[in-house]
Amino acid sequence: MTPTFTALVKQGLQTIGHYRRALARTTLPGVAVLCYHGVRDDDMAPGTVPFQYLHIPAPTFESHCRVIRQCCDPISLDDWRAAIDGRATLPERPVLITFDDGYRSVLTMAAPILQQYHLPATVFVCTWPMGSRRMLWFDHIGARDGENAVEGWKSRDYGEWCGRCSDTPRVDEGDPRALMTPDELRTLANIEGIEIGGHTSRHPILSRASAAQQRDEIEQNIQLIQEWTGKPVRSFAYPNGRPGFDYNAVSTGILRGAGIDIAFTTHPDFARRDEPPLERSRFLLLDETSDAELAHRLAYSWPR
Ligand SMILES: [Zn+2]
């Protein structure tokens, strides 16, 4: 794709170090929590997989990591917890990297880059397709019926959705949409700086489910992650994650009872000090976001 004039200007500003200097003078209004999904080879042809925009090319992800390391203050969830508890203070430009869903590429492609730049990250995973070696439901329906069909299913009742969408085919292990195996999740969890959090068993829209169904989705997910990794689960990301639509007070109550101390939505904002701890905002990052664009958003265009 030919870059737009604005994109070229931003790339020029990035090249001459403008954003680095601008960010050095900036205090962010909260934690910039970045929400990624998968990482892909740079040469994947457009339209190879549905929702390809959620899988960022590895070189782009590396360029993001360079911006975060050079221009911001990367933090882990534990750093943040220490600040919330008053045991530490947050740096001026705190950035937390997160990944949703549990794609294998987070282990094989993102983790080496994170380690290269010494960046902590939190990875929220769906356990049912991991354990049963199935596709995530939206990847399956998206490939079979198109991406728009997935949107339609998000407003259906949990029972109907579960019967028609959640029993997905076995995944081809070489497919970029394959999730990690339980063993691979343990490997990822053992990398220093990586925390594994919950994302439900099957990735339903929680607000469409009864309290009992929500409880099963959340508690089975947490229990399996703990079993597979041998570590406690203390963080969570709501599937789809829009406040007021995709989860409700029942969901939040179940998380609190399950020992979750921080949970994330997809409301695009800095995670500010006055936000409820179980409804923290995040910025979604897509495959076309360049390093210059990320730096521009951090320095100027994300809401102050
Ligand atoms: Zn998700």
What pLDDT does 167 receive? 85
What pLDDT does 2 receive? 76
| Spatial distance between the Cα atoms of 199 and 224, rounded to a whole number of angstroms | 12
Distance 18 CA to ligand 1 centre (A): 34
Distance 205 CA to ligand 1 centre (A): 10
Distance 99 CA to ligand 1 centre (A): 9
- Taking alpha carbons only, the member of 136, 122, 240 closest to residue 178 is 136
What pLDDT does 238 receive? 98
Q: Are 239 and 81 in contact (CB under 8 A)?
A: no
Residue count of the chain: 304
Distance 203 CA to ligand 1 centre (A): 6
**133-177 pLDDT, tens per residue?**
999 999 999 999 999 999 999 999 999 999 988 889 999 999 999
| Spatial distance between the Cα atoms of 204 and 157, rounded to a whole number of angstroms | 10
Q: Residue ranges of the alpha helices (H) in the chain?
A: 5-15, 18-24, 58-71, 77-84, 104-105, 111-116, 127-132, 137-145, 147-153, 158-165, 182-189, 211-229, 249-257, 291-296
Distance 157 CA to ligand 1 centre (A): 18
Distance 140 CA to ligand 1 centre (A): 14
What pLDDT does 295 receive? 98
Q: Which parts of the chain have pLDDT scores under 70?
A: 1
Distance 23 CA to ligand 1 centre (A): 30
What pLDDT does 166 receive? 86
Distance 100 CA to ligand 1 centre (A): 5
Distance 46 CA to ligand 1 centre (A): 21
What pLDDT does 118 receive? 98
What pLDDT does 3 receive? 81
Distance 266 CA to ligand 1 centre (A): 10
Percent of the chain with pLDDT over 90: 97
pTM above 0.95, yes or no: yes
| Spatial distance between the Cα atoms of 216 and 204, rounded to a whole number of angstroms | 11
| Spatial distance between the Cα atoms of 86 and 27, rounded to a whole number of angstroms | 19
